[in-house]
Amino acid sequence: GEDVEQSLFLSVREGDSSVINCTYTDSSSTYLYWYKQEPGAGLQLLTYIFSNMDMKQDQRLTVLLNKKDKHLSLRIADTQTGDSAIYFCAEMDSSYKLIFGSGTRLLVRP
Amino acid sequence: DVKVTQSSRYLVKRTGEKVFLECVQDMDHENMFWYRQDPGLGLRLIYFSYDVKMKEKGDIPEGYSVSREKKERFSLILESASTNQTSMYLCASISLLAGGVRDTQYFGPGTRLTVL
């Protein structure tokens, strides 16, 4: 079945760039997503990428997609303390179900 | 600006109790989902619904049931709560017609359920 994997934890200094990586298995996914979950809150759609794209930039966020290796990454430039959260990678299957990774907890140190 | 609401943010129940978790969306979405979130496991799909009175099992439906009597409301039911159902429960909705594009994936704030 489909599987999405992420590392569990990342710690960076404020002002540095953060890169969160994700691998997925379903090559038929049309869209791949990044969600952010702040403490005590639900999930917020952060950005997405269409499967025929290699890169998408949205202000401080850059999403890179390597379809050959089924690898997705999220780069946050100039990381701020407000970026501390859990970041989930997700792919959507043909039934519109989202398959989530386990989440990467980003800690931004002052 | 709230689009998906869940009936409770925190809930404490006793083993064996029947528990209802309610989710309401105001976007006229066809598809609604219930997930549970546990540390290190990410989000796991419990049940989903394509339309009123329709339901499909997700990856971990055991111990749960659902009800979708109205399009805007999707209820998750724990018939007899057990301690291993202590978790964060998240409801989500999307619009089928949008084909899964951006801004159609909305999550509620979550209900943290503790079963004693």
pLDDT at B28 over 70: yes
Q: A34 with A40: CB under 8 angstroms? A: no
The pLDDT of residue A7: 87
| Spatial contact of B6 and B21, defined as CB atoms under 8 Å apart | yes
Is B1's Cβ below 8 Å from some Cβ in A? Answer: no
pLDDT at B85: 97
Which residues in chain B have their CB less than 8 angstroms from residue A91's CB?
none
* Cβ of residue B105 closer than 8 Å to a chain A Cβ: yes
Query: Higher-confidence residue: B113 or A67?
Result: B113
Q: Inspect the interface and report whether the beta carbons of A102 and B41 lie closer than 8 Å.
A: yes
Locate the chain A residue with the closest alpha carbon to B59. Answer: A99
CB contact under 8 A, A98 and B105: yes
> Residue A96 is nearest to which of B31, B40, B41, comparing CB atoms?
B31
Whether B58 has its CB under 8 Å from any CB of chain A: the answer is yes
pLDDT tens, position by position, B52-75: 999 999 989 999 999 999 999 999
How do residues A13-49 score in pLDDT, each as one tens digit? 999 999 999 999 877 777 889 999 998 788 888 888 8
Q: List, in sequence order, every residue forming a beta bridge with B74; answer none if it has no partner.
A: B23
The pLDDT of residue A6 is above 50: yes
User: What pLDDT is recorded for position B36?
Assistant: 95
pLDDT, chain B, mean: 89
B96 touching A (Cβ < 8 Å): yes
Which phi-psi region, left, alpha or beta, contains residue A33 (left: φ > 0; alpha: ψ -120 to 50)? beta
Query: For chain A, what percent of residues have pLDDT higher than 90?
Result: 52
Q: Which residue has the higher pLDDT, A97 or A109?
A: A109
User: Quick check: A85 pLDDT over 90?
Assistant: yes
Residue A68's Cβ-count burial label (10 Å; 0-12, 13-18, 19+) is exposed
Residue B103 clears pLDDT 50, i.e. is over it: no
Q: Which 8-state DSSP code applies to residue B62? A: T
The answer to whether the Cα torsion of B49, A25, A37, B10 is positive or negative is positive
Q: Are A96 and A2 in contact (CB under 8 A)?
A: no
- For chains A and B, what is the number of CB pairs under 8 angstroms? 56
Residues in A lying within 8 Å of B, measured between beta carbons:
4, 8, 30-31, 33, 35, 41-45, 47-48, 88, 92, 95-98, 100-103
Parallel, antiparallel or unpaired: strands A18-24 and A4-6: antiparallel
pLDDT at B97: 52
Q: Do B107 and A44 touch (CB under 8 A)?
A: yes
Find the distance separating the first CA and the last CA of chain A, reported in whole Å. Answer: 41
